Amino acid sequence: QVNRLEITPDKRFLAAAGNSHIRLFDVNSNSPQPVISYDSHTSNVMAVGFHCDGNWMYSGSEDGTVRIWDLRTATCQREYESRAAVNTVVLHPNQKELISGDQNGNIRVWDLAANSCSCELVPEVDTAIRSLTVMWDGSMVVAANNRGTCYVWRLLKGTQVSESADLHAIVHSMISAFFFQADETTCLDNHQL
């Protein structure tokens, strides 16, 4: 089973997140065998991504953890407890914060410098967060939940929430990274605001 795929910034490796592991494959190889396997999660890995320099990877799992992996040593360097199955994780454009969404409806901002949760949001209690994305300049974060509700927050000073808006019925599927384009326009496909 594969839950998520992500290519490294240098486009050399492909990470495949599955049941309790992440496997890293060489894109330029014909070998079906992974270069390395990261096996510390104890349940489905639902999110995976990379720091822009490609030295570390992050993951989120149904085991309730968000982890940071050193790609050079293939070891887990940090682990953050979410207290619920993690469905989605994104890296803030500042490369210093991870934002996770979980099965209980919690959104957490993990400050990597402080090594702790710096902000917690709960838009709807017990309504799973399915997808998160951050605007390219880091000014807004968007979350979509199981009910198809989309929430938008303006972020100031990196993590402080200053405003929220509930946009009902615009999301019928998961939001992906294309939600905000670099020119600050929205790309909603067939949805209307």
Please check the confidence at residue 180 and state whether its pLDDT lies above 50. Answer: no
Residue spans per domain, the chain: 1-81, 88-193
- At the topology level, CATH places domain 1-81 in Thrombin, subunit H (2.40.10)
Q: pTM (2 decimals)?
A: 0.81
Q: What confidence tier does 156 reach under pLDDT thresholds 50, 70, 90?
A: low
pLDDT: which is higher, 35 or 178: 35
Task: State the amino acid at position 110 in one-letter form.
Answer: W
**Least confident window among 23-32, 74-83, 131-140, 157-166:** 157-166
- At the topology level, CATH places domain 88-193 in Methylamine Dehydrogenase; Chain H (2.130.10)
Question: What phi, psi does 179 have (nearest 5°)?
Answer: -55, -45
**Least confident window among 28-42, 70-84, 148-162:** 148-162
In which residue are the tokens 């917690």 written? 120
